[in-house]
Amino acid sequence: MIVKRLFDCLQHQLQHFPKRDMLAAKENGQWVSYSTEQVADTVNRFSAGLVQLGVSARDITPESSDKIAIISNNRPEWIFTDLACQQIGAILVPVYPTTSPVELEFILNDAAVQYLFVSIAELLEKAKMVAAKVPSIKTIYTFDRIEGARHWTEVTDLATPETVKQISEISKTIPVSHLATIIYTSGTTGTPKGVMLSHRNIYSNLQFSKESFPFNDAPESKVLSFLPLNHIFEKTVTYIYLFSGISIYYAESLETIGDNLREIKPDGFTTVPRLLEKVFERIMTKGNELTGIKRKLFFWAVDLAEQYDNLKSGGLWYNMQLALANKLIFSKWREALGGNVSFIVTGGAACQVKLLRIFNAAKIPVYEGYGPTENSPVISVNRQGKGLTKFGTVGPLINGVELKLAEDGEICVAGPSVMEGYYKRPDLTAEAIVDGWLHTGDIGILEDGKFLKITDRKKELFKTSGGKYVAPQPIENKLKESPFIEQIMVIGSERKFVAALIVPSFLTLKDWMREKGINYTTNEDAVHHPRVLDLYRELVESYNGYFNHVEQIKKFELLPQEWTIDTGEMTPKMSLKRKVVMEKFKAAIEHIYA
């Protein structure tokens, strides 16, 4: 494989499949497309403007190269900034819009960021507040036009014909070993760590992923992008799209995804399990609103789909029924996603097997994959092709990844995608990469000799006071199959027994209470209602049968509000911040063990 720089995607597209809609986004309510030629021209002028500001790679070392930060939703300007920095060897430091001011201050100071690009007024105010404590910052630019703020086009306006010509020469000097980005972890376990990823790291990962999945060159295809570009999963997938000639359309927001899917009718998208769960909950809510024969048909189809196994035929009668269910019921689900979806790739957390069965039975192909930021990120993925997907696993390894399982089951990988290290933290780098092997912190097994299965996070395993080890994730995943459970966290470290904090699915619970003639007033009242508590005791007890005695949930507390990014219990990629939940709901936990 010939390793390229990420910004080489521009010349690759211009040469092989120049497009009228390389990137697209809604502006003032209308979809606006940017052709490959427009993007290349904008990026070159952006690079030239940055050079005029004095931005450079200097001697190509991470410490000496200039850093530019971006805090923005997904939009074409995000890609313009990323590519413009890469061409001149500046290092992009992407930051989640939801990052707290304390963490933002740490990141900007740690990276010694000089220029900061933000999207909207709200983020500008946050940036200005923090920038006062970051001496290295020279200027903040915005993507939206905001009164009194400096617009990003002021940088492109600095470009001269002479400096634009220089960009081609400067870009030739950027080696594949140079850092493309420093991505700071979300800091759920302490101070954020800056993961250093080079062009070689990310390009090798995108190329091996492209070969393995596979992603074929598809200049007629398009995707919808809504997972944060700050996260390496969406960033790497973006470059897979760009090198494959696939058009990228950016969703307006998480709330408009449904509308945007119907508008652009994409061929695929990437997501996280939490969003898939939300989609399924909305579908089930609509199903519950049906009456008579329509309601019976809906739930008959869902029950059929739950039995689906892609590796084992259900037999002629089952297949005939499923074909009918697809025609009568699931065709409407596919229409709601635009009608053209041929792939959905999910990662970042474990996906419920029940959802994988149902969506795939409904001819909505969902492929679960896995990999940490430190591996750029993909290690394995279920994929298109007979016998290459197994529900409940994260699929076969992609090409170019070596795997070994440590004695305790920890997944260790080696290959060109493994990070260069943690920025300014050689001590942490030495802990994470031992003799070339990246220690992921995840525990796993190989099923059938080729399908990787994640069984837990090494740090999330806990020991009861009786000395028995418990892996919370499999228990949580099983109970989340219940339509009555929205979120759950299993606890019990150094305690006498295993317990759980449960957030009910209030839409489902409301319907149940109405059917039982119970007056629903507030979430707070519902979680304390004796009959609701009885319902959840029976439910938990029914699931306990799947686990051995020490793993069974003995007690639980129902909580009245969903855990979200905004309230602090979820990371931006929608993973649970266990330490935050433990601290925030300390009183509920103490009540369980009182």
**CATH assignment at residue 553:** 3.30.300.30
Give the tens place of pLDDT for each residue, 420-440: 999 999 999 999 999 999 999
Residue 486 has pLDDT above 60, yes or no: yes
Burial annotation 179-190 (CB, 10 A radius, 16+ → b, else e): bbbbbbbbbeee
Cα–Cα distance between 91 and 56 in angstroms, integer?
Answer: 9
Instruction: Give the Å distances, CA to CA, from 78 to 75, 118, 364, 532, 587.
Output: 6, 9, 29, 47, 42
pLDDT of residue 372: 94
Contact call for residues 96 and 186 (beta carbons, < 8 A): yes
At 318, list the tokens. Answer: 């089952």
Question: Which range marks the domain in which residue 542 is found?
Answer: 461-593
pLDDT of residue 456: 84
At 125, list the tokens. Answer: 């105010």
pLDDT of residue 64: 80
Predicted TM-score of the model (pTM)? 0.88
pLDDT of residue 30: 96
In this structure, the strands spanning 247-250 and 268-271 are unpaired
- Residue 473 covered by a domain: yes
**Sequence-ordered list of residues with C-beta below 8 angstroms from that of 158, at least 6 positions apart, any chain:** 48, 49, 52, 53
Nearest to 589 by CA among 479, 491, 462: 491
pLDDT of residue 1: 86
Domain count, the chain: 3
Residue 339 has pLDDT above 90, yes or no: yes
- Residue 26 covered by a domain: no
Cα–Cα distance between 519 and 507 in angstroms, integer?
Answer: 14
Cα–Cα distance between 317 and 278 in angstroms, integer?
Answer: 31
Query: Is the same domain home to 449 and 484?
Result: no
Query: Is the same domain home to 294 and 408?
Result: yes
Query: Is the same domain home to 419 and 477?
Result: no
Residue ending a domain, choose from 401, 433, 458: 458
In this structure, the strands spanning 67-71 and 115-118 are parallel
- Residue 576 covered by a domain: yes
- Residue 216 covered by a domain: no
Residue ending a domain, choose from 458, 474, 508: 458
Residue ending a domain, choose from 403, 434, 458: 458
Contact call for residues 484 and 512 (beta carbons, < 8 A): yes
User: Which CATH number belongs to the domain containing residue 373 in this structure?
Assistant: 3.40.50.12780
| Count of Cβ atoms closer than 10 Å to residue 591 Cβ | 11
Number of residues written out for the chain:
594
Query: Is the same domain home to 366 and 296?
Result: yes
- Residue 260 covered by a domain: no
Query: Is the same domain home to 450 and 475?
Result: no
User: In which band, very low, low, confident or very high, does the pLDDT at 190 lie, cut at 50, 70 and 90?
Assistant: low
pLDDT of residue 294: 96
Query: Is the same domain home to 449 and 491?
Result: no
Nearest to 21 by CA among 10, 33, 29, 31: 33
User: In which band, very low, low, confident or very high, does the pLDDT at 142 lie, cut at 50, 70 and 90?
Assistant: very high
User: In which band, very low, low, confident or very high, does the pLDDT at 59 lie, cut at 50, 70 and 90?
Assistant: low
Mean pLDDT of the chain: 94
What's the average model confidence in pLDDT over 507-529?
95
Query: Is the same domain home to 589 and 503?
Result: yes
**DSSP structure string for 308-354:** --TTS---HHHHHHHHHHIIIIIHHHHHHTTS---EEEE-SSPPPHH
Query: Is the same domain home to 480 and 533?
Result: yes
Query: Is the same domain home to 468 and 444?
Result: no
What's the average model confidence in pLDDT over 560-565?
94
The structure tokens 């228990």 sit at: 475
Query: Is the same domain home to 168 and 143?
Result: yes
pLDDT of residue 58: 67
Cα–Cα distance between 505 and 464 in angstroms, integer?
Answer: 29
pLDDT of residue 129: 96
**DSSP structure string for 517-558:** TPPP--HHHHTT-HHHHHHHHHHHHHHHTTS-GGGSEEEEEE
User: In which band, very low, low, confident or very high, does the pLDDT at 155 lie, cut at 50, 70 and 90?
Assistant: very high
What's the average model confidence in pLDDT over 317-335?
98
Cβ-based burial of 500 (10 A; exposed 0-12, middle 13-18, buried ≥19): buried
pLDDT of residue 375: 98
Burial annotation 1-20 (CB, 10 A radius, 16+ → b, else e): eebbbbbbbbebbeeebebe
pLDDT of residue 186: 65
Query: Is the same domain home to 388 and 491?
Result: no
What's the average model confidence in pLDDT over 160-188?
91
- Residue 549 covered by a domain: yes
User: Which CATH number belongs to the domain containing residue 102 in this structure?
Assistant: 3.40.50.980
What's the average model confidence in pLDDT over 456-482?
86
Contact call for residues 49 and 157 (beta carbons, < 8 A): yes
More confident residue, 398 or 456: 398
Residue 184 has pLDDT above 50, yes or no: yes
Using DSSP's 3-state secondary structure scheme, residue 203 falls into helix
Contact call for residues 6 and 197 (beta carbons, < 8 A): no
| DSSP secondary structure letter of residue 289 | H
**Sequence-ordered list of residues with C-beta below 8 angstroms from that of 394, at least 6 positions apart, any chain:** 347, 368, 369, 370, 379, 380, 381, 382, 451, 452, 453, 454
**Single-letter code of the amino acid located at 560:** P
Query: Is the same domain home to 98 and 49?
Result: yes
User: In which band, very low, low, confident or very high, does the pLDDT at 188 lie, cut at 50, 70 and 90?
Assistant: very low
- Residue 252 covered by a domain: no
Give the tens place of pLDDT for each residue, 368-424: 999 999 999 999 999 988 899 999 999 999 999 999 999 989 999 999 999 999 999
- Residue 532 covered by a domain: yes
What's the average model confidence in pLDDT over 533-545?
96
What's the average model confidence in pLDDT over 135-156?
98
